[in-house]
Amino acid sequence: MLIELDFWPVLAQWPLLLRGAGWTLVLTAIAALLGMTLGIACAWSRVNGPRVLRWGAGAYVELIRNTPFIVQLFFIFFGLPAAGIKLSPFTASVLAMVVNLGAYAAEIIRAGIEATPRGQFEAAQSLALSRMQTFLHVVLPPALKKVWPALVSQITIVMLGSAVCGQISTEELSYAANLIQSRNFRAFEAYILGTLMYLVLAIAVRRLLNWAGPRFVFGR
């Protein structure tokens, strides 16, 4: 038996879907900015930092990369209150996304940093740049440029992963689809529309970042 598909009851709730997509983008934007910063800091620690920091950053990267995002999110949202740290669903989602992206970005950016030719360091040293200046102005921009496609993919993956945040009642896109199907029982239609919106968002975010990278992140 085949049930007929009827998209109208779902489409009638378009403000919910749009608002959900908006929140997904907000989550992704914050996570991308903070996550990349964290990633750069960790990549620096792993390459140049003192031994303790190097080891700490390594442990963090491996721990996050080898556990599922949903468990990280639940640990932060359900686990941390037991330790006295109570977070709103939105804050918990952002925190989980930042921590998650930070680990992957660290590994990606480190690969870019390690590909820097030795001559660049020597040239920077001969210009009397400090270690920090060398890192920020000589090493980092070309490293980011080299790994930008991988970073863009990772940011997109984190955005798609944020669908899980609906499970702790963050009101993003998957939450909106869930809410709509619980109102009119058009589950399949609601999820089809939600999924297509994610696809559009993923393509749009990828385009935007590919455009923005050379202009705002690492210069030409």
Q: Are 46 and 57 in contact (CB under 8 A)?
A: yes
> Which CB, 104 or 135, lies closer to another protein?
104
What value, to the nearest 5°, has the Cα angle with vertex 11 and ends 10 and 14?
105
By CB under 8 A, how many residues form the interface with another protein?
Answer: 41
CB of 7 to another protein, least distance (A): 14
Task: Answer yes or no whether residue 88 interacts with another protein by CB under 8 A.
Answer: no
**Stretch 15-54 residues interacting with another protein (CB under 8 A):** none
Q: Are 217 and 36 in contact (CB under 8 A)?
A: no
* Choice between 121 and 188, CB closer to another protein: 188
Q: Which is nearer to another protein, 45 or 174 (CB)?
A: 174
SS3 2: coil
Q: Which of 26, 199, 208, 212 binds another protein (CB under 8 A)?
A: 199
Counting contacts by CB under 8 A, is residue 155 touching another protein? Answer: no
In this structure, the number of other CB atoms found within 10 A of the CB of residue 117 comes to 9
Alpha-carbon distances of 214 from 26, 36, 40, 96, 206, rounded to whole Å: 22, 16, 17, 28, 13
Tokens of 101: 């992206």
Give the list of residues 6+ apart from residue 218 with CB closer than 8 angstroms, or none.
Answer: 140, 141, 142, 144, 145, 148
Stretch 52-71: interaction string toward another protein, x if CB under 8 A: ----------xx-xxxxxxx
Q: Which stretch binds another protein (CB under 8 A): 14-22, 126-134, 143-151, 187-195?
A: 187-195
Q: Which residues bind another protein (CB under 8 A)?
A: 1-3, 62-63, 65-72, 74-75, 78-83, 156, 160-164, 167, 174, 177, 181, 187-188, 191-192, 194-195, 198-199, 202-203
